[in-house]
Chain A
Amino acid sequence: MEKVIDFLSFQDPTVRLVVAGTVLLSISAAVVGCFAYLRKRALVGDALAHSLLPGVAMAFLFSGQKDPWLLLLGAMVSGWLALGAMELIQQHTKLASETAIALVLSVFFGFGVLMLTYLQHHGGGDQAGLDQFLFGNAASMRSSDLYAYGLVGMVLLVIIGAFYKELKLYCFDPDHAQAIGLPTRGLRYLLNTMTVLATAIGIQSVGVVLMAALLITPAATARFWSYRLRTMLFLAALGGAVAGLGGSFASYLAPAMPTGPWIVMVLSFLALVSIFLAPRVGIFARMWRQRQNQRKIIRENLLKAFYHGLENREGDQAWLSRPEWQEQRHLPEWEWQIGFRQLRRHRWILRRSGHYRLTERGLAEARRVVRLHRLWELYLSRYLALGKDHLHPGAESIEHLITPEVEKELLRELDYPEQDPHRSPIPYKS
């Protein structure tokens, strides 16, 4: 626990440096990544990250990792060549876009590995191990790195702020953007350059291999929680920041923990949590909704069964015994148990020595369900011209679905009928 406090007090200068760096880089990658994600170009982001390797390796060859700006320049050149190659291939050959992307990715990455292996064999210790570029080396970030990359990251965010509505339009409807005279080519170049830059600076913290995660995972996660672009961007940035913090914390907590992979672990964890916990679209939400639906179906079926029991009785008896009730409808025992509990909870049912009866509200509810069933059967028989035997199954599920508004329309449509196709009376308020 005190490690947490130590960490968050930011007294350790390494912690300050690494957290500042990884958080900033993750935020810019996440925000730029949202646009790549929305343009459905997530795959290109991954290819791009891998394609930066030769450029970075060349810059390294000349500067020995001393100059962050040179590394950025190398990355830009490499990235732009890769994007250009992908475009050329798509335009001039019959290869599909995925093939073009995979091709460029493998060729550039292979070339990069070749260069780094050559460096490894012939260089002095100043040349890096392959691993540093493949998986990042955030823990040994320098302040010169932080200034350079942090500056670039902030510039990216400012540009997105300035051109927000045009970028939004371009990603949503590029035709319309072109039609109203926006410089679509410029916007496309802008987005591509920003993606290259965000990737180039992100490589410092998570490396080439994992960079795609930094771009796309926050965007995909944010999508679960929001319907608006602004919210989505904010949540993605937040996710990126949390991941940067979390990864740095993991690296702070235990020895020999690389920051980059831990950042990606945090992002993946957030994504996993979102898949389960997001409201409405999350798995738990859906399961819960399903459960609610099932319960509704069971209790309404029970009510209907009881009502049928009353209808089949002679006389005005309001009480039914258990067997009399259960013979109206064949349901497994566990559904009866659930149903009873539901009906009792809603106070729709009274019990006395093995006999049951509906309360006022229970009776009204039972009438409602039966009414909806019979109205729907009437609707089906009139408008879908279904034969009498085909009506019941359809109505069985729909009766649980119809809301009071639709009920009103149904009544209007059918002109307040008194009987259903089987000549059973349609119960209104009595």
Chain B
Amino acid sequence: MSANKEATPALEVHNLTATYDRQPVLWDIDFSLPEGSLAGILGPNGSGKTTLLRNIMGLMQPDSGYVRLLGQDLAKVRAQVSYVPQRESVDWNFPVSVSEVVAMGRYGPGKLLRRLRRPDRDIIEEAMEKTGILPLAHRHISQLSGGQQQRVFIARALAQQAQIYLMDEPFVGVDAATEEAILNLLGEMKDRGQTVIMVHHDLQTAQDYFDQAVLLQTRLVAAGPVETVLNKENLQQAYGGRLNVLSKVGQLAAEKQFPLREKAFRERKKPAHGEGD
């Protein structure tokens, strides 16, 4: 873990406020994570974990605030950031095979109108091998178990060969073999200095898996090394029920379609450090 305060953090979230269906889901989230960390985003259901991840990935636009990855705007470092979504996010009856899905990790704006080459195919095979699904390469995705499906997504992310991996609850509903495979992968990634940021549902295993933690309950309860974050008071705050007044204010805002931040105070894409130098 890098103690050098001047090193560029892998992820910086700055005063992020986001709504979903007009209801505020994230209020003023502000934290950063250093490179090479294995971080868990934790919190009860409805605390905004997936929304946070989607905002980081640019799949949703925040109401105000911004996100920096490796010190830059997402658009500039997309190739370095890889996303593993929840399994329910796709229709597993789609007519593709396992290797076709993993191959999607190699697509990108640079590959438009170009076929995948041999180096791409090698990378794809290696990714499948690392996640233990190489024997399933030609199987149709509807014939996979839950754990195998998860591993397909992870293989796809690996094939991208990114620096930062964002994962949404990869351990949910998987069998022991898959769990082991994922943990091994995480270990390897840490050794290589890659950053993994994961939404996780289980507090008990969080202590063992992660070195950094971000505890959410619509607002940031705590962020930092996992031992300091997961103490009694923090957990009580996060899991002891929602902030009633905050919820009521949020509801009012939704009903009256009121903006959560006045225009003058909406912090948007400011030029990042290092840009324009």
Residues of A within 8 A of B (CB): 38, 40, 162-163, 165-166, 168-169, 171-173, 175-183, 223, 226-229, 231-232
Contact = CB atoms under 8 A, between A and B. Distances in A.
Given A182-B107, A228-B97, A175 B112 contact: no
B83 A179 contact: yes
A180 B107 contact: yes
Nearest to B75: A181
Nearest to B110: A181
B89 A179 contact: no
28 contacts: A40-B91, A162-B113, A163-B112, A163-B113, A165-B104, A165-B107, A169-B104, A172-B90, A172-B91, A172-B101, A172-B104, A173-B90, A175-B57, A175-B59, A176-B104, A179-B57, A180-B107, A180-B108, A181-B79, A181-B109, A183-B109, A227-B95, A227-B140, A228-B95, A228-B97, A229-B94, A229-B95, A229-B100
Q: Which one of A163, A181, A182, A223 has the highest number of Cβ atoms from chain B below 10 Å of its Cβ?
A: A181
A182 B75 CA distance: 11
Q: Which one of A38, A40, A172 has the highest number of Cβ atoms from chain B below 10 Å of its Cβ?
A: A172
Interface string B68-93: 00000001001101110100011100
A68 B63 CA distance: 47
Contacts of B105: 180
Contacts of B82: 179
A176 B83 contact: yes
Contact of A166 (B57, B89, B112, B116): B112
B203 interface: no
Contact of B78 (A40, A180, A226, A229): A180
A181 B104 contact: no
A229 B83 contact: no
A173 B94 CA distance: 10
Contact of B95 (A176, A183, A226): A226
A38 B78 contact: no
Given A166-B107, A180-B107, A228 B89 contact: no
B58 interface: yes
Q: Which one of A169, A177, A180, A226 has the highest number of Cβ atoms from chain B below 10 Å of its Cβ?
A: A180
A176 B168 CA distance: 13
Contacts of B142: 227
Nearest to A179: B83
B96 interface: yes
Contacts of A178: 58-59
Q: Which one of A163, A177, A223, A228 has the highest number of Cβ atoms from chain B below 10 Å of its Cβ?
A: A228
A232 B107 contact: no
Nearest to B77: A181
Contact of B109 (A176, A182, A227): A182
A228 B160 contact: no
A173 B104 contact: yes
B94 A175 contact: no
Q: Is the interface of B mostly helix, strand, loop or mixed?
A: mixed
Contacts of B89: 173, 175
Q: Which one of A171, A172, A176, A229 has the highest number of Cβ atoms from chain B below 10 Å of its Cβ?
A: A176
B153 to A, nearest CB: 9
B78 A169 contact: no
Contacts of B116: 165
Contact of A168 (B78, B96, B160): B96
B59 A182 contact: no
B108 A179 contact: no
Given A162-B113, A163-B113, A180 B94 contact: no
Given A172-B90, A229-B96, A179 B107 contact: no
Contacts of A227: 95, 97, 140, 142
B245 to A, nearest CB: 28
Nearest to B79: A181
Contacts of A165: 103-104, 107, 111, 116
A171 B94 contact: yes
A175 B85 contact: yes
A251 B87 CA distance: 50
A220 to B, nearest CB: 12
A172 B112 contact: no
Given A179-B78, A228-B97, A173 B85 contact: yes
A180 B83 CA distance: 9
Contacts of A183: 109
A169 B116 CA distance: 14
Nearest to A38: B94
B257 to A, nearest CB: 12
B104 A223 contact: no
Interface string B97-131: 10011011101110111001000000000000000
Q: Which one of B78, B95, B100 has the highest number of Cβ atoms from chain A below 10 Å of its Cβ?
A: B95
B237 to A, nearest CB: 31
B123 to A, nearest CB: 14
A175 B124 CA distance: 20
A249 to B, nearest CB: 31
A227 B156 CA distance: 20
B163 to A, nearest CB: 14
Given A163-B112, A165-B116, 19 more contacts: A38-B95, A165-B104, A166-B112, A169-B107, A172-B94, A172-B96, A173-B85, A173-B89, A177-B107, A179-B57, A180-B79, A180-B108, A181-B108, A182-B109, A226-B95, A227-B142, A228-B95, A228-B96, A229-B94
Q: Which one of A40, A168, A232 has the highest number of Cβ atoms from chain B below 10 Å of its Cβ?
A: A168
A229 to B, nearest CB: 5
A329 to B, nearest CB: 37
Given A163-B112, A166-B112, A173-B89, A180 B95 contact: no
Nearest to A165: B107
Q: Which 5 A-B pairs have the closest CB atoms?
A: A181-B78, A227-B140, A179-B83, A229-B95, A172-B94
Contacts of A168: 96, 100
Contacts of A40: 91
A281 B240 CA distance: 50
Contacts of A180: 78-79, 105, 107-108, 160
A35 to B, nearest CB: 11
A210 B208 CA distance: 60
A160 to B, nearest CB: 13
A125 to B, nearest CB: 49
Contacts of B95: 38, 223, 226-229, 231-232
Contacts of B75: 181
B131 to A, nearest CB: 16
